[in-house]
Amino acid sequence: MGFKNAINMKKILLIDYKLGNHQSVANTLTFLGYDFLISNSPADIKRAQAYILPGVGAFPEAMKNLKAIGIVDVLAHEVIKRKKPILGVCLGMQILANDSVENGFHKGLGWVSGHVAKVPPGQEIRVPHVGWNNIHAVSKNPLFSRVSSNTNFYFDHSYHFVCNNKFVAATFIYGHKMIAAIQKDNIFGVQFHPEKSQNNGLRIYRSFFNYCGIN
Amino acid sequence: MLKKRLTAILVIRDGIVVQSIGFSKYLPVGKAQIAVEFLNSWGIDEIIYLDISATPKDQGPDFLEIQSVSKKCFVPLVVGGGISSVGDMQKLVKFGADKIAINSAALKDPLLIKKGASILGNQCIVASIDVKLDKDKKYSVFSNFGIDIPEKDPVKWAKTLASLGAGEILLNCVDRNGSKVGYDINMVRMIVEAVDIPVIACGGAGHPQDFVDVMTQGRANCAAAGNFFHFTEHSVINAKAYLQKKGIDIRFDTQAHYMDFEFDDGGRIAKRPDRYLAEQRFKYYPPEII
């Protein structure tokens, strides 16, 4: 088998849309011993078996980049039609929603019916919500199967996901109860940064890839 | 509820980690990669990497160094020093930074904060302010590199930075830097009460009680220290055990925890009886496999 074929066998794809902490996610996957590819080419998207959609950035910029690269349709085909698993992280989860009010009103991918709203500020509730907060896992499987249901993760966001309870996988409390993780069939999203949440975060990635059947 | 954070600052000068005293004297510590690896394994909540020689030398950030440092960093990595454009910020995030700290660049061009926040989101932008007492004993924004200060009043400057879209304020007290006498609680509290974004307090930590004081009386969301964490084994665990005992809500899930230990006057864990230490020699603590 040639070198080129070996690259093609990589099953995990970090979607590169010019916005996001790909290096941080890559460090985590390397630490856990996974082979992966960082790419945005349609050919690589078709070949991959599971996707990570990282995200550090602003919502409109993310959607603009995804459209400019022109991978929305091919990705939708693989995820919606062919049911390949995807994990959106932070902004990567938010763009799965129908729309967001970050810097004006913007449409998202609309794969998980929901909206992105500003975290409501309040007494001692400073926005952005930065730091380690406890989550409550509503459905343990598959993402939270390796952590206790009341564990902590690192959050860093000013906007949050709002959707129907049936998609909620975990919640956290910051002034109000908000969504920490979503799950809709093969589509997953986490508001916190598992790649920056030490061992608890590593466990989330391990659980996700085990679910995907990737070793 | 959201926990208080304990953050380590790595001050980088000419490529190595240093301890800084009053922004003028520097003691060498070693390679950043090793410091990051240790702090990470001791359960630090966040690491701030500040390259203080980039701006005076007119150099940009060392992207490859950041990439290398980030490899063993499974906590958020904030990077500052030498950043002059939104392009630099995006490239840093691409190379392993999770947040960007801006100080001198915001003094030169405050709008850079706004531009950065519109692309990377305001949660990604940490605005850093150096504050020093001036001749009239008034708090004043300070630049170590002689940059013209657009707004001398730290309260007004912090408010300006927040309104431009900064997601956090990193507040350095220059007079307390490396002094080990504790944080300037009044100054921290003044800024915390002026803005509605999280504030990271820095400068003066010498004893774990200083973290308690700045988090309670100073109301800081996050206590940062540089020199405190160097040259002491398990310095982070030690400090967190102290915070936990004082009832501060922090993240504390390292394998070693020292919760049943006593502390000496210096805030370090007290020596245990010889018998206990002798027993420990034959104990095996298996590493966790994820």
B143-167 residue pLDDT tens: 989 899 999 999 999 999 999 999 9
- Assign domain B5-280 to a CATH class: alpha beta
Query: Could A128 and B94 be called an inter-chain contact, meaning their C-beta atoms sit closer than 8 Å?
Result: no
Q: For residues B71 and B175, what is the distance between their CA atoms, to the nearest angstrom?
A: 34
Distances in Å between the Cα of A137 and the Cα atoms of B44, B74, B175 are 24, 22, 45
> Residues with Cβ < 8 Å from B44, sequence gap 6 or more?
B6, B7, B8, B75, B229, B236
Who's near B157: CB < 8 A, 6+ residues apart? B129, B141, B149, B150, B151
Give the nearest chain B residue to A121 (CA atoms). B196
Does residue A131 surpass a pLDDT of 60? yes
How do the domains of chain B map onto residue ranges?
Answer: 5-280
Three-class SS state of A142 = coil
Rounded CA-CA distance A62/A95 in Å is 8
Cβ distance B210 to B184 under 8 Å? no
Residue A153 pLDDT level (bands cut at 50, 70, 90): very high
Mean pLDDT (chain B, rounded)? 95
Mutate to test the interface with A, among B38, B237, B254, B290 (most CBs of A within 10 A): B290
Nearest to B78 by CA among B115, B32, B51, B47: B47
Most A-contacting residue of B71, B251, B252, B288 (CB-CB within 10 A), to test interface: B251
pLDDT at A63 over 70: yes
Alpha-carbon span A48 to A12, nearest angstrom: 6
Q: For residue A141, which amino acid is it?
A: N
What average pLDDT does this structure show over B33-46?
96
The rounded distance, in Å, linking the Cα atoms of B152 and B142 is: 8
A21/B98 touch (CB, cutoff 8 Å), yes or no: yes
- Which amino acid, B83? I
Count chain A–chain B contacts defined by CB atoms under 8 A.
Answer: 134
Give the residue from B207, B227, B220 showing the smallest Cα distance to B248. Answer: B220
Confidence of residue B286 (pLDDT cuts 50, 70, 90): confident
In this complex, the residue of B5, B122, B290 whose CB is nearest that of residue A199 is B290
Minimal Cα–Cα distance from A107 to chain B, Å? 17
Q: B63 to chain A, minimum CA–CA distance in Å?
A: 12
Angle at the Cα of B223 from the Cα atoms of B75 and A118, rounded to 5 degrees: 65
pLDDT category of residue A150 using cuts at 50, 70 and 90: confident
Q: What is the pLDDT of residue A1?
A: 41
Residue B248, SS3 per DSSP: coil
| CATH number for the domain harbouring residue A111 | 3.40.50.880
Q: How, if at all, do strands A86-89 and A36-39 pair?
A: unpaired
User: Looking at the predicted structure, is the pLDDT value of residue A8 above 80?
Assistant: no
Q: Are strands B77-80 and B125-133 parallel, antiparallel or unpaired?
A: unpaired
Distance CA A38, CA B120 (A): 20
Inter-chain touch B197–A128, beta carbons under 8 Å: yes
pLDDT at residue A110, as a whole number: 96
pLDDT of residue A77: 97
Average pLDDT over residues A140-144: 94
Question: What whole-number distance in Å separates Cα of residue A208 and Cα of residue B44?
Answer: 25
Shortest Cα distance from A174 to chain B (angstroms)?
6
Q: Which of A152, A142, A120, A154 is nearest to A204 (CA)?
A: A142
CA dist., res. A206 & res. A29, Å (int)? 9
Apex CA B275: angle with CA B271 and CA B277, to 5°? 50
Beta carbons of B123 and A24 less than 8 Å apart: no
Supply the range of the domain harboring residue A145. 3-212
Distance between CA atoms of residues B101 and B124, nearest Å? 9
> What number of helices (H) and strands (E) belong to chain B?
10, 11
Instruction: Report the percentage of chain B scoring pLDDT > 90.
Output: 86
The answer to whether residue A4 scores a pLDDT higher than 70 is no
Task: Give the orientation angle of helix B63-70 with respect to helix B32-41, to 10 degrees.
Answer: 30
Average pLDDT over residues A104-133: 95
Mean pLDDT across the stretch A49-71? 94
Instruction: Calculate how close chain B gets to A81, using CA atoms only, in Å.
Output: 31
Q: Cβ A198–B40 below 8 Å, yes or no?
A: yes
**C-alpha to C-alpha distance for B171 and B131, rounded to whole angstroms:** 7
CA-based R_g, chain A, Å: 16
Nearest CB neighbour to A58, from listed B94, B99, B120: B120
Q: What confidence tier does B235 reach under pLDDT thresholds 50, 70, 90?
A: very high
Nearest Cα to Cα of residue B249 among B280, B215, B279: B215
Alpha-carbon dihedral sign for residues A152, A154, A159, A165: negative
Query: Residue B217's closest CA among B185, B245, B181?
Result: B185
Determine the Cα–Cα distance for residues B173 and B131; give it in Å rounded to an integer.
5
Which pLDDT score, from 0 to 100, does residue A39 have? 94
pLDDT of residue B1: 83
Instruction: Report the residue of chain B nearest A127, measured CA to CA.
Output: B197
Positions of B marked active-site: 130
- Nearest residue, CB atoms, A158 vs list B73, B121, B288: B121
Nearest to B192 by CA among B102, B129, B246, B123: B129
**Which chain A residues touch B77 with a CB distance below 8 Å?**
24
Phi-psi region for residue A131, left (φ > 0), alpha (ψ -120 to 50) or beta? left
Q: What is the pLDDT of residue B17?
A: 97
Residue of chain B minimizing CA distance to A58: B121
pLDDT band at A2 (very low <50, low <70, confident <90, very high): very low
Query: Whole-angstrom Cα distance, residue B89 to residue B165?
Result: 15
Total count of domains within chain A? 1
* A37 min Cα distance to partner chain B (Å): 15
Q: Check pLDDT > 60 for residue B220.
A: yes
Q: Say yes or no for a CB contact (<8 Å) between A23 and B198.
A: no
Least confident of A80-84, A206-210, B282-286: B282-286
Tell me the average pLDDT across A44-49.
Answer: 95
Catalytic residue among A78, A90, A102, A160: A90
- Out of B124, B196, B290, name the one closest to residue A202 (CB): B290
Q: For residue A103, give the nearest of B43, B118, B253 by CB distance.
A: B118
Interchain CB distance below 8 Å, A196 and B76: yes
Mean pLDDT for the stretch of residues B42-52: 97
What are A125's two structure tokens? 């509730």
B236 or B289, which is more confident: B236
**HEC-encoded secondary structure of B202-219:** ECCCCCHHHHHHHHHCCC
Residue type, A177: K
Output A123 or A192, whichever has higher pLDDT: A192
Q: What is the mean pLDDT of chain A?
A: 93
Nearest-by-CA chain A residue for B5:
A131
Q: Rounded distance, CA B52 to CA B59, Å?
A: 10
pLDDT at position A3 over 60:
no
Q: Is B112 helix (H, G, I), strand (E, B) or coil?
A: helix
Q: Minimal Cα–Cα distance from A1 to chain B, Å?
A: 30
- Say yes or no for a CB contact (<8 Å) between A58 and B121: yes
Q: What is the pLDDT of residue A7?
A: 47
Nearest to A170 by CA among A129, A124, A133: A133
- Percent of the residues in chain B that have a pLDDT greater than 70, as a whole number: 100
CB contacts of A103 in chain B (<8 Å) are 118
